[in-house]
Amino acid sequence: MTIAAPVADFLVLPPRLDSTAELLAESARRRGLAVEHLPSPSVPAQLRQARGGHLYGGPNFAAAVASDLDLAMLEPADDWLVQLPYEYTRRDITLTTLAEARWLRTPTFVKPPRDKTLTAGVYADGSRLPRAERYHPDTPVLVSEIVTFLVEYRLFVLDATVHAASRYATNGRLDPAPLDAGPHRAAVLDFAASLLGACAASLPSAVVVDVGLASNADRGDEHWAVVEANMAWFSASYAANPDRVLDVVLRAAGPRDRLTPRDHAFTGPPALFG
Per-residue pLDDT of 92-112, as tens digits, reads: 888 887 878 787 777 777 777
Residues 227, 93: Cα–Cα separation, whole Å = 11
The pLDDT score that the predictor gives to residue 271 is 42
Comparing CA positions, the residue from 81, 71, 101 lying closest to residue 253 is: 71
The pTM of the whole model exceeds 0.75: yes
Domain assignment present for 217 = no
Domain assignment present for 173 = no
> Are residues 69 and 96 both part of a single domain?
no
> Are residues 130 and 102 both part of a single domain?
yes
Domain assignment present for 20 = yes
> Are residues 48 and 15 both part of a single domain?
yes
What secondary structure letter does DSSP report for 160?
Answer: T
Domain assignment present for 108 = yes
**Identity of residue 181:** A
**Identity of residue 43:** V
Predicted confidence (pLDDT) at residue 33 exceeds the cutoff of 80? yes
In total, how many domains does the chain have? Answer: 2
> Are residues 63 and 114 both part of a single domain?
no
Q: Would you say 137 and 165 are in contact if contact means Cβ atoms under 8 Å apart?
A: no
Q: Would you say 184 and 209 are in contact if contact means Cβ atoms under 8 Å apart?
A: no
Mean pLDDT value across residues 129-155: 82
Comparing CA positions, the residue from 245, 248, 205 lying closest to residue 26 is: 245
**Identity of residue 14:** P
> Are residues 16 and 69 both part of a single domain?
yes
Residues 92, 85: Cα–Cα separation, whole Å = 10
> Are residues 57 and 14 both part of a single domain?
yes
Give the domain-ending residue among 144, 167, 184.
144
Range of the domain at 28: 10-74+255-266
Confidence of residue 247 (pLDDT cuts 50, 70, 90): very high
- At residue 197, φ and ψ (nearest 5 deg) are -65, -35
What percent of the chain has pLDDT above 90? 67
